[in-house]
Amino acid sequence: MESRGEGRGLAGESSEMAAALRAAKQALRAEMKRRLRALSEAEKQRQSRLLSRKVIGHSKYQESQRIAIFLSMQDEIETEEIIKDIFQRGKECFIPQYKPRSSHMDMVKLTSAEEISSLPLTSWNIHQPCDNDVREEALSGGGLDLILMPGLGFDKSGNRLGRGKGYYDTFLERCMHHPKGKPYTIALAFKEQICDSVPVAENDIQIDEILYEDS
């Protein structure tokens, strides 16, 4: 039986470790943002085109019918070509619908690639259906086969550094409780986003595969 003093010591130690992990993540986020700012538009487009071809030629993509994909921010791999291909192949496409001031995100069905430009913009300057726009939500139906994911930094072990809101980790946790189980996950990254190691907590979920120029 531990004494109260030991209990306080353990609690203090765990809170120190949590604070150190937060600080390490914040430092890496700052470094990743610096690297991304240094990328020219032409270079981002070049790597995005290359990644689009990698995804479209990927066996997991070809065999998947229900695919979730992010709508790109300025410092992310551009996904427009992949989204067009999803519809050309008659697959089903789901995009994020974030709930503000929470870590909750749904993946809701997109009806066409052309529809994206008419969707409202969030504070992050991302198109997404508004809250009262009722659409099929992926996990209330047939689940997902594949999720194509963004992030700020990645390592070759499949660890991902997000933007600190926890949307994707929370969503993947929900996927695990779906009858279909967890979908295959592929992160799309500029080669500049690959790090030696990403600091992770217990609830950070590893990605199955990270695609980048040299992978």
Task: Report the Cα 23 to chain-centroid distance in Å.
Answer: 21
Query: Has 11 been labeled as part of a binding site?
Result: no
- Residue 25 is assigned to a ligand binding site: yes
| Alpha-carbon gap, residue 51 to 211, rounded angstroms | 7
Q: 164 a known binding residue? A: yes
Determine whether the annotation assigns residue 167 to a binding site: yes
Q: Answer yes or no: is 166 a known binding residue.
A: yes
Q: Does 10 appear as a known binding residue?
A: no
Q: Is there a binding annotation on residue 76?
A: yes
Has 26 been labeled as part of a binding site? yes
Report the alpha-carbon distance of residue 176 to residue 179 in Å, rounded: 8
Is 152 labelled a binding residue? no
Question: Residue 180: helix, strand or coil by DSSP?
Answer: coil
71 is in an annotated binding site: yes
Q: Is 28 annotated as a binding residue?
A: yes
Strands (E), the chain: 66-69, 92-98, 105-110, 146-149, 153-155, 160-161, 184-188, 194-195, 209-211
Measured on CA atoms in the order 189, 130, 115, 181, is the torsion positive or negative? positive
C-alpha–C-alpha distance, residues 202 and 14, integer Å: 12
Between CA 162 and CA 153 the distance in angstroms is 7
Residue 27 labelled as part of a binding site? yes
Q: Residues marked as binding for ATP?
A: 25-29, 160-168
Q: Residues marked as binding for substrate?
A: 71, 76
Q: Residues marked as binding?
A: 25-29, 71, 76, 160-168
